[in-house]
């Protein structure tokens, strides 16, 4: 069965391809298929070209330990219809945005994507520079075509990500003097869903029987969790999706513990020449340092604010020890400053407020952030 293109996705990176795109591929095999994805790549063109050469088809190697059992399976992902390059195919992006079938807009532009750019002061015919301006241009094209609102699902790891993205879109709309009716349509007719994503996707596996034939092959851990802050859900179903009226405690626990530990390892282990997360947690000095950081400085500020932070920290260390993965710290180090501001700095402030003293390990490692970030 040929499915319609219903999803516009900003970002062609590994995470979305092993997370939302995989879920959508699996949902498409069910009784209520959501449809196909059109991917937009803004940085470079190579990934978009590779996706198109492959006909939107690639594999995800799901590997790790889950519920005490070793998981090692390879899943076909065929949810992508085509990929477009924003810099050279913006007209095609706007044309798809204006179609009747479009229902969802996904994104993962990292924390760095949630900014405006002075280059977008005036609305033009070419692709805007910033992601919020691109999104606004897409929504305006849809509004001007007289189409229905869409569901906006930003998968960036930012608290209240949809609400913050909507605020940036409104700020950009003010720059462009967007009419009130259009702004009301964007705000009220589109559903902006705060959400939380959680899955470790380290990139291309080092060893796999498909390496030679699938340049888009990526690895992912078995664990996957997608919390949607709306009891109605996001419009399609998958076992990894949890719909709830409040995701704040899930966000707090995941960002402060799992992602905080990742960024702390970039600060501490990468300057030592340690290349992967698993090497770091197995290192005779860095491994114990990370455990101490988690259980004496990060977990204590989360007690009473989320469910079982200590248990989640123990599970996180097990996920970091995944024997199949070579999760490179250099990949985690991308946009390091922005990540540290979300993942570690708030824990530092919370610790000071809660205990009235400096967290020794966190204070020490953050003092060198500028040096690490300068080389990323």
Q: Do 167 and 292 share a domain, yes or no? A: no
Q: Do 75 and 208 share a domain, yes or no? A: yes
Residue with tokens 């985690």: 332
Cα(282)–Cα(14) distance, integer angstroms: 25
DSSP secondary structure, 176-187, as one string: TT--HHHHHIII
Contact predicate 370/304, CB 8 Å: no
Listed residue (158, 225, 168, 238) closest to 194, CA to CA: 158
State how far Cα 88 lies from the chain centre: 25
**What CA–CA distances, in Å, run from 303 to 288, 295, 297?**
21, 11, 11
- Dump strand ranges (E) for the chain: 5-10, 36-41, 58-66, 69-77, 80-85, 104-107, 151-154, 191-192, 195-198, 218-220, 225-229, 241-244
Cα(301)–Cα(256) distance, integer angstroms: 10
Q: Do 175 and 308 share a domain, yes or no? A: no
Residue with tokens 């391809």: 17
Q: Do 149 and 263 share a domain, yes or no? A: no
Last residue of a domain, one of 244, 259, 277: 244
Give the angle 309-310-316 at the CA atoms, nearest 5°. Answer: 85
Q: Do 227 and 147 share a domain, yes or no? A: yes
**What CA–CA distances, in Å, run from 216 to 97, 219, 221, 285?**
26, 10, 17, 35
Range of the domain at 61: 5-244
Based on the structure, what is the number of domains in the chain?
Answer: 2
**What CA–CA distances, in Å, run from 19 to 33, 65, 149, 343?**
17, 18, 24, 21
Q: Do 82 and 197 share a domain, yes or no? A: yes
pLDDT at 69: 82
At a CB cut-off of 8 Å and minimum separation 6, what does 314 contact?
A: none
Cα(117)–Cα(106) distance, integer angstroms: 21
Cα(96)–Cα(138) distance, integer angstroms: 9
Cα(319)–Cα(307) distance, integer angstroms: 18
The phi-psi region of residue 356 (left if phi > 0; otherwise alpha if psi is between -120 and 50; otherwise beta) is left
pLDDT at 179: 98
User: Can you give the CATH number for the domain in which 211 is found?
Assistant: 3.40.50.720
pLDDT at 359: 97
Listed residue (327, 339, 317, 346) closest to 157, CA to CA: 339
Q: What DSSP element (H or E) covers 162?
A: helix 161-175
Last residue of a domain, one of 244, 279, 300: 244
pLDDT at 375: 30
User: Would strands 69-77 and 36-41 be described as parallel, antiparallel, or unpaired?
Assistant: unpaired
State how far Cα 170 lies from the chain centre: 22
- Give the predicted TM-score (pTM) of the model: 0.84
Counting beta carbons within 10 angstroms of the beta carbon of residue 258, is it exposed (0 to 12), middle (13 to 18) or buried (19 or more)?
buried
- Chunked mean pLDDT (size 10), the chain, 376 residues: 94 96 97 97 92 97 87 97 97 98 95 92 95 98 98 94 98 98 98 96 91 96 95 96 94 94 96 95 97 98 95 92 89 91 96 96 81 32
pLDDT at 1: 63
Question: Phi and psi for 47 in degrees, rounded to 5?
Answer: -65, -40
Q: Do 14 and 79 share a domain, yes or no? A: yes
Last residue of a domain, one of 244, 272, 288: 244
Q: Do 310 and 178 share a domain, yes or no? A: no
User: Can you give the CATH number for the domain in which 367 is found?
Assistant: 1.10.1040.10
Q: Do 263 and 326 share a domain, yes or no? A: yes
> Average per-residue pLDDT in the chain?
94
Q: Do 215 and 342 share a domain, yes or no? A: no
Cα(155)–Cα(254) distance, integer angstroms: 14
pLDDT at 202: 86
Cα(122)–Cα(255) distance, integer angstroms: 36
Give, to the nearest 10 degrees, the angle between helix 260-268 and helix 336-343: 130
Q: Do 157 and 266 share a domain, yes or no? A: no
Q: Do 270 and 365 share a domain, yes or no? A: yes
**What CA–CA distances, in Å, run from 1 to 4, 6, 244, 332?**
10, 15, 32, 39
């Amino acid at each position: 069965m040929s499915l319609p293109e219903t999803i516009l996705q900003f970002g062609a990176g590994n995470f979305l391809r092993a997370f939302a795109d995989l879920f959508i591929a699996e949902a498409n095999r069910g009784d209520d298929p959501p449809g196909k994805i059109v991917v937009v790549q803004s940085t470079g063109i190579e990934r978009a070209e590779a996706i198109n050469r492959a006909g939107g088809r690639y594999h995800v190697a799901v590997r790790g330990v889950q519920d005490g059992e070793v998981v090692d399976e390879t899943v076909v992902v065929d949810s992508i219809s085509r990929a477009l390059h924003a810099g050279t195919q913006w007209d095609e992006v706007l044309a798809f945005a204006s179609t009747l079938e479009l229902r969802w807009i996904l994104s993962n532009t990292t924390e760095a994507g949630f900014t405006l750019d002075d280059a977008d002061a005036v609305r033009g015919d070419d692709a805007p520079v910033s992601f919020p301006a691109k999104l606004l241009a897409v929504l305006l094209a849809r509004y001007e075509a007289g189409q229905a609102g869409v569901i906006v699902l930003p998968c960036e790891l930012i608290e209240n990500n949809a609400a913050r993205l909507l605020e940036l879109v409104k700020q950009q709309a003010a720059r462009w003097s967007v009419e009130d009716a259009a702004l009301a349509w964007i705000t009220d007719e589109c559903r902006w869903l705060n959400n939380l994503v959680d899955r470790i996707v380290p990139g291309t596996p080092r060893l796999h029987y498909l390496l030679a034939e699938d340049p888009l092959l990526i690895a992912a851990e078995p664990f996957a969790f997608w919390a949607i802050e709306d009891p109605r859900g996001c419009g399609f179903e998958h076992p990894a999706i949890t719909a709830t009226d409040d995701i704040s405690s899930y966000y707090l626990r995941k960002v402060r513990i799992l992602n905080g530990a990742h960024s702390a390892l970039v600060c501490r282990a990468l300057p030592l020449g340690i290349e992967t997360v698993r090497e770091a947690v197995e290192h005779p000095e860095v491994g114990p340092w990370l455990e101490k950081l988690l259980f004496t400085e990060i977990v204590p500020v989360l007690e009473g604010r989320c469910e079982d932070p200590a248990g989640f920290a123990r599970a996180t260390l097990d996920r970091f020890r995944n024997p199949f993965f070579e999760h490179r710290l250099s990949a985690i180090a991308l946009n390091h400053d922005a990540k540290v501001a979300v993942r570690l700095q708030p824990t530092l402030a919370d610790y000071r407020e809660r205990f009235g003293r400096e967290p020794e390990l966190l204070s020490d490692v953050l003092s060198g952030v500028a040096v690490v970030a300068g080389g990323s």
